[in-house]
A = this chain, B = another copy of it.
Amino acid sequence: MLNTDLFQRFERKAQVITLKDCGAIAAYTGLSAGDKVVDAGTGSGFLAVFLANIVGPQGRVCTYEIDGHSAKISQQNFERAGLRNIELRQKNILEGIDEQNVHLVTLDLPDSEKALPHALKALVAGGYCVGYLPNTEQLSKFVSEGERVGFRHERSLELIAREWLVRKQGTRPDNTGLLHTAFLAFLRKPFGKL
């Protein structure tokens, strides 16, 4: 079991992908112990740690980060998490993905749709490419570009998580909190011939 306190202690550079979204990425793709994942960009490494924890020692996460400072911070976070199945590549994913037979590619870049041809090539048939997309324009571009290059658009989602206060004085949702993080688009590589 991962020490969830770790999630709070994470040194953050970019805004972190929240647990509600991490959970949905794992759940809607059926991510399993032993799976092979490619992730870009790394940012603080939060999503990479989350996914590495699920795929476990038989699985593997390769995470691409172009920015040197982020790479350094995330590397420290990986060590702190004690996870040995994460590999950090300081490299631009838009120039290609080295891995093959990947089960899941997660993309959180300003122009994630540009990595879609590489993702398609890297994935096994039935594998997923998930975009983490803050704006609706990005969502729309990601999905249409995905369909153009040969993915099937399985679903796009947004998750709203409300924290509830459960106390003697009464039970109610917390008054304020996160109303939006990003849209999640789930593209799938078809099983048949492209």
Contact = CB atoms under 8 A, between A and B. Distances in A.
Interface of A: 1-4, 6-7, 19-20, 22-35, 50, 53-59, 103-104, 124, 126-127, 134-140, 143-144, 153, 155-166, 168-181, 183, 185
Contacts of A134: 170, 172
A67 B140 CA distance: 32
* Copies of this chain held together in the complex: 4
A158 to B, nearest CB: 5
Contacts of A136: 136, 140, 170-172
Given A4-B28, A135-B172, A163-B179, 12 more contacts: A1-B29, A1-B104, A2-B30, A23-B24, A140-B171, A157-B161, A158-B161, A160-B161, A162-B180, A176-B177, A176-B178, A177-B179
Interface on chain A toward B: helix, strand, loop, or mixed SS?
mixed
Nearest to A138: B170
Contacts of A33: 33-34, 53-59
Nearest to A53: B32
Nearest to A55: B33
Which 10 residue pairs are nearest across A and B when measured between Cβ atoms? A33-B56, A23-B27, A135-B170, A23-B23, A2-B30, A173-B180, A33-B33, A4-B30, A136-B136, A156-B164
B175 A178 contact: yes
A189 to B, nearest CB: 11
Nearest to A56: B33
